């Protein structure tokens, strides 16, 4: 079967369903509705295989059936993923629905041609065209009244290995939930060598009870109305819609490259000393009142260092010398809600926060220290429960964008443990958050060597990436 993408040939497109007769209907909480028409999250896991196992005949006849059957077994524990988001005309709000006789997860089986250099794709220190990764992630269907929740693509690279591309709807699950599902699938797949009916370990069992998410402030209707207003302003489709707003979130892949950088534990220790040595010298909007910490987290250090390096690269390029930035990041609220909820809660339980920076902070002489201090201050001020500014965050962010401020965000986490995900073929050679190309976003994972470092994924204009590469590495050469 031919593919519209020149790099791959499609072997099969099918639907994998759980062996379940249970009909399921789940509400979307306000934390889900916050992301209702947001772009999907796309990730790719690249695995190497011995030459004999990566031969097309062996791979599609022996390994793919194992991946399919384990996926079906896993979906029995994660029934919502096999269903869809629906919004019937007689319902005041959308919800999740699984119909056992009709629903399942779309699975695309593909083979990459020999023109693609697999070894270059999985390198951690070289850039490649941003558009290339789009060959290995599947499309997620959505209309005004219906949206798929997850789709999967398995792509063979003959004589090298394979990739698993997963696209998930953000209105159903956050990064922790989607990673839990992938870990469960991998665990069951690996266990098929020993038993035909593997059990799921308790730490991978999803907690599906939605009633634990309380909504005393009626954020649910606030977010539905917010999306309706956004739809009316930006979209020509039905205002009452769950269709992903692709016109707002197009991938920025023209003249762009994708690259991965690493901050080792030693790098992070050096950056920590640099910030703390200047901590009391920086007086920025009340920041001087903060207590001098003994150590900053790898999250604070990475976000500050990378965002400042990106800002300087953009400023030094010919693209926009006057570019100003704002910075935001998501926070997992499972342990922050009052009372806290089950750590395996399956759904969205993240809230976004805008850091109280000035647009010019990122390019000041001590921008790294300033931004690190403000991210640290933002995290320290977080209280229990959903933050007050949540319901107005979307419009505050849009107002800043309208003033010419470019938003920079974060996707992923070093706590997800993605480099531990083994389907029985070994740990992944590379894990990529592909959807960071839909905005100016820092993709975070733990380092592949699992030794305490941080891996950073970026998609930037080629000229900006070249400048970033220089700024990033030069900044790590200086001792305090």
The model's pLDDT over 56-95, given as tens digits with 9 standing for 90+, comes to 999 999 999 999 999 999 999 999 999 999 999 999 999 9
Sign of the C-alpha dihedral computed for residues 207, 212, 215 and 221 taken in this order: positive
CA 27-28-29 angle, to 5 degrees, is 110
Q: Which of 18, 76, 39, 6 is nearest to 434 (CA)?
A: 39
d(CA 73, CA 134): 28
Domain 256-475: CATH architecture, name and number where available: 2-Layer Sandwich (3.30)
Do the two domains 8-234 and 256-475 of this chain adopt the same fold?
Answer: yes
pLDDT tens digits for range 196-230: 778 899 999 999 999 999 998 899 999 998 888 87
Sheet holding 128-129, edge to edge: 128-129, 256-263, 454-461, 440-446, 405-412, 324-332, 350-354
6-9, long-range: CB < 8 A, 24+ apart:
6/113, 7/112, 7/113, 7/115, 7/116, 7/132, 7/135, 8/110, 8/111, 8/112, 8/113, 8/135, 8/136, 8/155, 9/110, 9/111, 9/113
Q: Any residues with CB less than 8 A from the CB of 459 and at least 6 apart, and which?
A: 130, 252, 253, 256, 257, 258, 436, 437, 441
Q: What is the pLDDT of residue 480?
A: 57
Q: 161, 47 in Cβ contact below 8 A? A: yes
Q: Choose, from 170, 267, 361, 437, the residue flagged as catalytic.
A: 170
Contact (CB, 8 A) for 245 and 230: yes
Beta bridge partners of 345: 207
Q: Which residues contact 162 (CB under 8 A, 6 or more apart)?
A: 46, 47, 49, 54, 59, 63, 154, 155, 156
Give CA–CA dist 166/182, Å, rounded.
Answer: 9
- Asked whether the bond before 339 is cis by omega within 30 degrees of 0, the reply is yes
Q: Which of 332, 366, 422, 466 is catalytic?
A: 422
Amino acid 284: pLDDT: 57
Active site annotation includes 19: no
CA 229, CA 231: separation in Å to the nearest integer? Answer: 5
Based on the residue annotation, tell me whether 353 is a catalytic residue of this protein.
no
Angstrom distances, CA of residue 480 to CA of 273, 276, 309, 475: 7, 10, 18, 11
CATH code of the region 8-234: 3.30.559.10
Q: How high is the pLDDT of residue 286? A: 44
Residues in the chain: 480
| Distance (Å) of CA 478 to CA 5, 435, 455 | 45, 33, 20
Asked if residue 456 lies in contact with residue 444, where contact means CB atoms within 8 angstroms, the answer is: yes
Output the pLDDT for position 285: 53
How far is 12 from 443, CA to CA, in rounded Å?
31
For the chain, which residues score pLDDT lower than 50? 1-4, 286-288
Q: Can you give the pLDDT at residue 152? A: 98
What CA–CA distance (Å, rounded) separates 122 from 143?
34
Decide if 372 contacts 299 (C-beta within 8 A).
no
Helices (H), 317-461: 367-380, 393-402
Domain residues of the chain, as ranges? 8-234, 256-475
Do 302 and 443 touch, CB atoms closer than 8 A?
no
Looking at residue 403, its pLDDT comes to 80
Report, in angstroms and rounded to the nearest whole number, the Rg of the chain calculated over CA atoms: 22
How far, in Å, CA of 433 to CA of 43, rounded? 4
pTM for this one? 0.94
Report the DSSP pairing between strands 405-412 and 324-332: parallel
């Amino acid at each position: 079967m031919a593919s519209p993408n020149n790099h791959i040939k499609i072997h099969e497109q099918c639907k994998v369903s759980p062996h379940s007769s249970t009909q399921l209907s789940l509400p979307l909480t306000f934390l889900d509705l916050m992301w209702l028409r947001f772009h999907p999250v796309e990730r790719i896991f690249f695995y190497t295989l011995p030459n004999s196992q990566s031969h097309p005949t062996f791979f599609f006849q022996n390994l793919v059936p194992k991946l399919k059957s384990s996926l079906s077994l896993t979906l029995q524990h994660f029934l919502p993923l096999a269903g869809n988001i629906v919004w019937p005309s007689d319902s005041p709000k959308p919800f999740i629905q699984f119909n056992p006789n009709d629903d399942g997860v779309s699975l695309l089986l593909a083979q990459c041609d020999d023109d693609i250099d697999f070894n270059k794709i999985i390198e951690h220190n070289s850039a490649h065209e941003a558009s290339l990764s789009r060959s290995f992630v599947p499309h997620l269907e959505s209309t005004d009244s219906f949206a798929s929740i997850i789709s999967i693509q398995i792509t063979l690279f003959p004589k090298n290995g394979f990739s698993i591309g997963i696209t998930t709807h953000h209105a159903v699950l956050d990064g922790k939930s989607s990673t839990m599902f992938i870990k469960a699938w991998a665990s069951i797949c690996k266990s098929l060598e020993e038993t035909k009916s593997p059990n799921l370990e308790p730490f991978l069992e999803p907690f599906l009870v939605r009633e634990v998410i309380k909504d005393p402030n009626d954020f649910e209707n606030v977010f539905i109305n917010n999306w309706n207003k956004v739809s009316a302003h930006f979209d020509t489709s039905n205002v009452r819609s769950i269709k992903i707003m692709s016109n707002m979130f197009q991938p920025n892949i023209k003249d762009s490259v994708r690259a991965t950088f690493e901050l080792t534990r030693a790098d992070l220790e050096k950056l920590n000393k640099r910030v703390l040595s200047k901590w009391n010298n920086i007086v920025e909007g009340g920041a001087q009142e903060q207590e001098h910490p003994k150590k900053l987290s790898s999250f604070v250090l990475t976000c500050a260092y990378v965002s400042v390096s990106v800002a300087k690269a953009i400023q030094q390029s010919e693209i926009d010398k006057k570019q100003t930035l704002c910075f935001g990041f998501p926070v997992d609220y499972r342990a922050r809600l009052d009372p806290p909820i089950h750590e395996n809660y399956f759904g969205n339980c993240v809230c976004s926060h805008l850091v109280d920076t000035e647009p010019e902070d990122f390019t000041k002489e001590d921008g790294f220290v300033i931004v690190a201090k403000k991210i640290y201050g933002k995290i320290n001020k977080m209280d229990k429960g959903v933050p007050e500014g949540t319901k107005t965050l979307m419009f505050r962010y849009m107002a800043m964008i309208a003033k010419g401020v470019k938003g920079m965000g974060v996707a992923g986490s070093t706590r997800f443990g993605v480099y531990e995900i083994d389907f029985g073929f070994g740990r992944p050679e590379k894990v990529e958050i592909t959807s960071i190309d839909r905005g100016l976003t820092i993709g975070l994972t733990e380092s592949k060597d699992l030794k305490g470092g941080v891996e950073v994924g970026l998609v930037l204009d080629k000229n900006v990436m070249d400048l970033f590469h220089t700024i990033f590495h030069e900044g790590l050469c200086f001792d305090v």
